[in-house]
Amino acid sequence: MRYIHFLLFLMLLGACKRPPTQTLPAQNGTGIAQEHPSLPPVGKDFRSLKLDSKVKYDVGFRLQLRLVRDSAMWVSVSKFGVEGLRAIITQDSVHILDKQKDTYYARRFDTLEVMLNFRLDFKMLQAVLLANMPIAEYDTAKVQLERSLLKIPQEKDGIALTNFLHKPTEKLHELFLVDKRTKNTLQIFYEDFKQIDGNAFAERNRAFLTFWDKNTQRIEKKEVQIDYNSVKFLRTSVDMPFNIPRNYKRK
């Protein structure tokens, strides 16, 4: 079960719903509400991404992840060389093989909001994985310089975001989200940036989630650290093997 919990936590790295694209209105006639002119991702274009990493979440895991841009994400979690979980995530569905219990889970993507108590979609998950701003548009009048980073506050659909952006690479170094409805919070730190295949990528992610647990009836805190030891940006697609054994029971 801890593998399932970890996958859900991984998905919370994209934990808010991406609203329809629109320009934020300027306030009090000051500033210019517009999309930042250099917001398109800095770096080379790619079709897919292959990642291999070590994860600290309660105990240690190996995490392999494959991404086909704007389409699907494949995840494999293992320990001591034994795979415990495999999942494939698309824009409208999540399928999980729990190899510890010979069970299979299939869910619509939008049902995960209820399970996680936090809003998200596939594009948000992908953006946050790549250290991109979850929402491209912002009010330039609200931008501040803090710790040599651009501090960019945003709010959409009840989610308050504070982005700390490195201007030269247009990559996040820190992201703080608050769900104003549930008071749940998520803080992500992107560290150890490297230039890989012409793209800036953070080889370490640390995330801290604070949320109200309906089962325990108390505030819970979770922490995860991901250290990537292999990162490959590709111009071709990648295989995402996912077969459901006949003896697996659907949950």
pLDDT in tens, 9-19: 454 443 333 33
- Tokens 């640390």 sit at which residue? 206
pLDDT 10s digits, 18-32:
333 333 333 333 333
Question: What pTM was estimated for this model as a whole?
Answer: 0.79
Give the number of other Cβ atoms within 10 Å of residue 251's Cβ.
12
Token pair belonging to 200: 């800036």
pLDDT of 114: 65
More confident residue, 42 or 230: 230
Burial 98-108 (b: 16+ CB within 10 A, else e): bbeeeeebeee
Q: Which residues contact 217 (CB under 8 A, 6 or more apart)?
A: none
CATH of 2-246, one of 2.50.20.10, 3.40.50.300, 3.60.10.10, 1.10.3720.10: 2.50.20.10
Judge contact between 96 and 105, C-beta under 8 A: yes
pLDDT 10s digits, 78-120:
989 999 999 999 989 989 999 989 999 898 887 766 665 556 6
